[in-house]
Amino acid sequence: LAAARAFTPPEFGPFHRFQDASTNELMCRTGFVGGRPDRNIAAGLFPRVKARLGPLPPGQYGIEFFPAVVQDDDVPRTATWTVGTPGVITSEDDPDVALIATRIVKRVDECDEQNRTT
């Protein structure tokens, strides 16, 4: 029992995404952060979740989260989770959406435009 109590699933992060209130609501309600291919720009063959490393900066709207899935090792400052890697699942409603289970620790729906960090 003590061992079971001591075990906590691994978490990674923090990461953040800048996004609007409706997307915040969807992700907070489901506990999943989602991502789509950028098909209106290029081929975008593989759905992947995209986020930025670190906590949500002050004055920005979006979410801060800790996923239970390790990210692809790609680009500094950003993280991706691609469908096909362990722990990254496809949405039942939309096969073009990749999902990762996360613990969302901060949500900012609105902020003063003048205080936004750019």
What residues make contact with other proteins under the rule CB under 8 A?
16-20, 23, 34-46, 50-52, 60, 62, 74-78, 97, 116-118
Min dist CB 1 to other proteins, Å, is 41
33, 65 contact by CB (below 8 A): yes
Residue whose CB is less far from other proteins, 2 or 45: 45
Please report which residue ranges of 15-102 form alpha helices under DSSP H.
21-30
Find the shortest distance in angstroms from Cβ 42 to other proteins: 5
CB of 4: closest distance to other proteins in angstroms? 36
How many angstroms separate the CA atoms of 48 and 37, rounded? 6
The nearer residue to other proteins, 76 or 86, going by C-beta atoms, is 76
Beta strands in the chain (DSSP E): 15-18, 32-35, 48-53, 62-67, 78-82, 89-90, 98-108
Q: What's the full length of the chain, in residues?
A: 118
Q: For other proteins, which is the closer residue by CB, 10 or 116?
A: 116
* Shortest reach from residue 113's CB to other proteins, in Å: 12
What is the token pair recorded at 33? 């952060």
Taking the least distance from each CB to other proteins, the nearer of 23 and 30 is 23
| Distance of alpha carbon 113 from alpha carbon 117, whole angstroms | 9
